[in-house]
Amino acid sequence: MSLAFAAAVAIAATTPVSADTVSAGSVALTVSPARAVLLAPSSRTLQLSNLGSERMAVDVAWRSLGRSIPSKGWLSIAPRRLVLRSGARALLTVRAGAGASPGDHHLLVLVTGRPSEPNGIAVRLRVGVRVRIRAPGRLVRKIAVAGLRARRFNGKHALLVAVANRGNVTEQLRGRLTVTLVDHDRVISRLRLGRSRELYPGARAVVVLPYAGRARGVVTAVVGIRLGARVPPVERRYRLLL
């Protein structure tokens, strides 16, 4: 393994890989599944596999995605440290107990592996597993529109919609977020988010909607979000300069 490649691996380890397997030369780490869902109170196991030829030391950590999860309390992950010989497997248990606030909680489980006997070259691999936990109780679905702006990117126009999830349920915005442009009571364009975009409870995001229309000047923009028949629609109006 070249020194340049090893350095690149060590630097890349600071960002979790979205796949369930990473490798670098004789070091390879697999975590399965790459995503997990729990209905609290319950537990779920993740399988760790050392597919490389070297003995590997593994550290396990996690961080919240969206609203904060307390470091001590209803969530536990064990073991936090272990050593896997070449070809060995181990089980990691994610346990969600009682006491969590109702709704969805998201976390990223970070599994980091490195040779247990370093040979002078720093190699470290990291895999990120996304875990969604649904806790029992009253579910609240509430998306707020926080603002709208028009911008140009590489000579093309786009509308930037700021949104925030103030409920406790993860929401999918694809097909549910629209921006309607109106000029003198005439609809001149209607934009709809067509790609997948999840918004975790407590999270904020800016959604970019490309605009290829020819309208210029000041128009009225109506931002709408419709989450379902049982949820009141959200609508905000803005005066927008294109």
In a domain, 229, yes or no: yes
Residues 38 and 129 in one domain: yes
Task: Render each residue's pLDDT in the chain as its tens digit; 242 residues.
Answer: 332 323 333 333 334 444 455 555 567 899 999 999 999 999 999 999 999 888 999 999 999 998 888 877 899 999 999 999 999 999 999 999 999 999 999 999 999 998 887 666 667 889 999 999 999 999 999 999 999 999 988 888 999 999 999 999 999 999 999 999 999 889 999 999 999 999 999 999 999 999 998 888 999 999 999 998 889 999 999 999 98
104 and 149, same domain (yes or no) = no
Cut 0.85: pTM above it: no
Q: Is there a domain that residue 119 lies in?
A: yes
Residue 20: predicted pLDDT: 56
Inside any domain, residue 233: yes
* Single residue among 135, 161, 194 that ends a domain in this structure: 135
The answer to whether the Cα torsion of 73, 47, 1, 108 is positive or negative is negative
pLDDT at 8: 31
Same domain for 119 and 30: yes
**227 and 167 in a common domain:** yes
Judge contact between 216 and 181, C-beta under 8 A.
no
Does 208 lie in the same domain as 126? no
* Residue 127 sits in the same domain as residue 151: no
Task: Tell me which of 119, 135, 151 is where a domain ends.
Answer: 135
Residue 15 domain flag: no
Give the structural domain span for 115.
3-7+23-135
The reply to whether 125 and 204 lie within a common domain is no
The predicted pLDDT at position 60 comes to: 97
Which CATH number does the domain housing residue 129 bear?
Answer: 2.60.40.10
In a domain, 53, yes or no: yes
Same domain, 131 and 68: yes
**Do both 126 and 154 map to the same domain?**
no
The answer to whether position 13 is within a domain reads: no
Q: Are residues 89 and 172 in the same domain?
A: no
- 91 in the same domain as 63: yes
Domain boundary pick from 105, 135, 165: 135
Q: How many domains does the chain fold into?
A: 2
Q: Are residues 114 and 172 in the same domain?
A: no
Alpha-carbon distances of 168 from 66, 136, 146, 174, 193, rounded to whole Å: 10, 11, 18, 18, 22
**Does any domain span residue 16?**
no
In a domain, 17, yes or no: no
